[in-house]
Structure 1
Amino acid sequence: MVHVPTISLNQGNAIPQLGYGVFKVDPKEAERAVGMAFEAGYRSIDTAMIYRNEEGVGAAIKASGIERDELFITTKLWNDDQGYDSTLTAFDASLKRLGLEYVDLYLIHWPKPSLDKYLDTWRAFEKLKQDGRVRAIGVSNFKIPHLERLLDATAIVPAVNQIELHPSLPQNELHDFHETHGIVTEAWSPLAQGELDAPVIVALAEKHGRTPAQVVLRWHMQRGIVAIPKSITPSRIAENIDLFDFALDDDDMQQMRELDTGRRIGPDPDNF
């Protein structure tokens, strides 16, 4: 069994630094895919209401026989459900689909500034946290101005901000802001949806006798970032967690820094 290190959250629990994401995993495939992830050693699973596969994730949890306190389960509130009362209703529905009594982390999926509801939404999140139905609360796709407004207006600092982050978009300024405020940075699309053919990444893979995906995920680990790669291929699920017996040196990390182009593959949170 692979030992995945954890990162302490500012709300008392700890998150495995490497998790398994189920974005775009077909609902009918989710139970099988998450079951394979459990077999490979993953204990952190990241889903969302809008992925339509919470029930499959819940079925895999039930079938696994793994003790609940060994797992770290994240789900997210969709944009249409933002607002105080609607958030509480949406959370009840997610929890029912997962078949759980609590989740370890609940995230606002997008700030959706045009709605102007994320402050009221966060107050509902604080209630869920205070009621013990969520172990930690956080956000996703928030930029610095969204976070500043949230920090100024509410009581609980987000535990996590899950953002698009990969070598082309290392999010250095936002990562530094997180560290200043005790927020853990979590990367979605950590492999930039499989864009791993940059000469630097290929050369480092050859140098270390690893795959390009392992080099990129190792870069995330050494930056102190949580990563949630997604695959439904058994060999890649196993490959992506096999990261903890090699390290990139300072020169390797500098070469990786030079891949920053600021290019997003997903939408800009200001406009989505």
Structure 2
Amino acid sequence: FPRASSSPPPLVCTMVGGTVAFSSHWVPRGMGSGPGLRIRGSRDPQGRGIVHGVSMSAGLDSTPTPASASRRGALRKLLMAVVLATGMPREGSASSREQAAASSCAEGDAVCASSSSKVPKLQLGSLSISPIIMGQWQLAGGHGAYDPAEAVENMVKHYDAGITTVDTADIYGPSEEIVGTFLKQRPEAVVCTKFCCFQGLARIDKKQVRKRILDSCKRLGVRSLDLVALFWSDFEVKRYVQVAKWLTELKEEGLIREIGVTNFDTPHLKELVDAGVPVVSNQVQYSIVDRRAQNGLSSYCEQSSIKLLCYGSVGGGLLSSRFLAKQRPGRSTLDTSSLRMYASSVSRFGGWELFQELLSALSQVAEKRGVTIANVATRYVLDQQAVGGVIIGVRNSKHIQENVAALNLTLDADDNKILESVLAKAQGPEGDVYGYERGVVV
């Protein structure tokens, strides 16, 4: 810390995983216990670190002392001194992102420190999100055992590579708690969670809505939720509009920043919008195999400034070289909930033979571009109308570079012509989003 201070500032340290987080209140010489600098930062076991925040603050005493203009000016000038003296960059600067990525990369990792500079951001209401979103459905079960500490480490590595947005839900097992642990290390991450309604739909009341939102805040360790997406299992129970309005009230109160929905088809999404619910996103299944969102929903979302956040864009791994030129897999190969779920989309698309034609076309484009089949499949979805981002599972960190590569890929007219030659043969899936799953489309 700056040698100009009368004495080293007191440090309050905590251990978060393998990272030492600290905060300090520093009052420069001659300013008594009045206004000072509140310094927050962290250092990893290798000694690398970031100042997460340096801000004006009241004194250590219970009665803040107003700062004069000269004092405030002095404190502002001292800001850079603090940064230089600690040897740590300010969070949010290009150098801090590179240093954060470097501290997260173990020797041999594919991710380089400059990866974050390659990831653009998208405005979603008041939120700035990454177009690749860390999906946490896998933490709900059905994807094998996992180590929570390793899950947090993987999220940190993805964040430091520029994938700064997380998708979770109140029904994904311990997912919100695990994401909450991650947020202690990367508090600037944007978290999209869900308010899922499956049972007792007619009995949901305002008090219950508020309690569940507060419970999510507690699990995530935050005072407000960045984005809450409403899922409603049965549209025959018409209470979804009222529940969405209660969520809107909590947004106005400050407990929620933005409101989204999950798997709302076009007419029911329109119903919410017409009722004045400020929906900014709709999370839906959308891939080159499952293009139901193109049957009216994407056009409506484009007109209504609603972004589609898409899951299943790589089919849980089906859209990869692993299944290229292979026989139809049995249940032992489809060994995760994701693979089994997305295999049904392949059947509706036109069956395994047509799917092999699609994989071959994707492979042709991938070889031309020097990327993977999954990259091309991801890029295809990102290029579609109203799409704001794709949600990809992040069980480990070995695919970070591959995921980021999709954002730097451009598909030209020839590439799309190759893909469309196969898509023209597709038999489905038909109807609006989530129609098969609801039993609306047989």
- State the TM bucket, normalised to the shorter chain: 0.7 to 0.9
Q: Does 1:177 align with 2:343?
A: no
The CA deviation string for residues 118-158 of structure 1, in whole angstroms up to 9 with x for no partner, is: 11110111012111222110101000121122223x21331
The CA deviation string for residues 209-238 of structure 1, in whole angstroms up to 9 with x for no partner, is: 101111111222222521011131321233
Q: Does 1:233 align with 2:426?
A: no
Please identify, of 193-202 and 75-84, the stretch whose mean Cα deviation from structure 2 is larger. Answer: 75-84
The amino acid of 1:58's aligned partner reads G
Q: How does 1:1-272 map to 2 (within 5 A)?
A: 1-2=115-116, 3-9=118-124, 11-25=125-139, 28-29=147-148, 30-52=151-173, 53-62=175-184, 64=185, 66-68=186-188, 71-80=189-198, 83=204, 84-152=206-274, 154-170=275-291, 171-172=293-294, 173-196=296-319, 197=324, 198-223=359-384, 225=387, 226-257=389-420, 258-259=422-423, 261-263=427-429, 268=436, 270-271=438-439
Distance 1:235 1:90, change over 3 A: same
The amino acid of 2:301's aligned partner reads H
Partner of 1:268, secondary structure, is helix
Structure 1 residue 67, shift from structure 2 partner: 4.5
Question: In 2, distance between residues paired with 1:262 and 1:110?
Answer: 24
Question: In 2, distance between residues paired with 1:18 and 1:168?
Answer: 19
Distance 1:146 1:267, change over 3 A: closer
Question: In 1, distance between residues paired with 2:416 and 2:427?
Answer: 16
Structure 1 residue 38, shift from structure 2 partner: 2.2
Partner of 2:279, secondary structure, is coil
Larger radius of gyration: 2
Question: In 1, distance between residues paired with 2:256 and 2:416?
Answer: 36
Structure 1 residue 267, shift from structure 2 partner: 7.0
The amino acid of 1:46's aligned partner reads D
Distance 1:243 1:117, change over 3 A: same
Structure 1 residue 177, shift from structure 2 partner: 1.3
The alignment's TM-score, normalised by the length of structure 2, stands at 0.56
What do you get for the CA RMSD once the two structures are aligned? 2.4
Question: In 1, distance between residues paired with 2:130 and 2:273?
Answer: 25
Structure 1 residue 85, shift from structure 2 partner: 2.8
Distance 1:7 1:207, change over 3 A: same
Please identify, of 19-28 and 174-183, the stretch whose mean Cα deviation from structure 2 is larger. Answer: 19-28
Distance 1:34 1:115, change over 3 A: farther
Structure 1 residue 5, shift from structure 2 partner: 2.0
Question: In 1, distance between residues paired with 2:193 and 2:131?
Answer: 16
Question: In 1, distance between residues paired with 2:236 and 2:207?
Answer: 19
The alignment's TM-score, normalised by the length of structure 1, stands at 0.88
Question: In 2, distance between residues paired with 1:42 and 1:96?
Answer: 24
Partner of 2:132, secondary structure, is coil
Conserved? CA contact 2:265–2:434, under 8 Å: no
The amino acid of 1:97's aligned partner reads R
**Which structure would you say has the larger RCO, counting Cα contacts within 8 Å and 6 or more residues apart?**
1
Partner of 1:176, secondary structure, is helix
Distance 1:8 1:125, change over 3 A: same
Question: In 2, distance between residues paired with 1:110 and 1:269?
Answer: 12
Distance 1:33 1:263, change over 3 A: farther
The CA deviation string for residues 83-109 of structure 1, in whole angstroms up to 9 with x for no partner, is: 333221111111100001222211012
The amino acid of 1:215's aligned partner reads V
Please identify, of 26-35 and 175-184, the stretch whose mean Cα deviation from structure 2 is larger. Answer: 26-35
Conserved? CA contact 2:132–2:165, under 8 Å: yes
The CA deviation string for residues 243-265 of structure 1, in whole angstroms up to 9 with x for no partner, is: 23331112323443453543389
Distance 1:176 1:254, change over 3 A: farther
Structure 1 residue 184, shift from structure 2 partner: 0.5
Conserved? CA contact 1:111–1:146, under 8 Å: no
Partner of 1:167, secondary structure, is coil
Distance 1:200 1:5, change over 3 A: same
Question: In 1, distance between residues paired with 2:418 and 2:209?
Answer: 43
Could you list the runs of 5+ residues in structure 1 that have no partner in the other structure? none
Conserved? CA contact 1:110–1:269, under 8 Å: no
Question: In 1, distance between residues paired with 2:435 and 2:299?
Answer: 22
Please identify, of 119-128 and 222-231, the stretch whose mean Cα deviation from structure 2 is larger. Answer: 222-231
Conserved? CA contact 2:251–2:257, under 8 Å: yes
Please identify, of 40-49 and 255-264, the stretch whose mean Cα deviation from structure 2 is larger. Answer: 255-264
> Greater share of strand residues, 1 or 2?
2
Distance 1:114 1:36, change over 3 A: farther
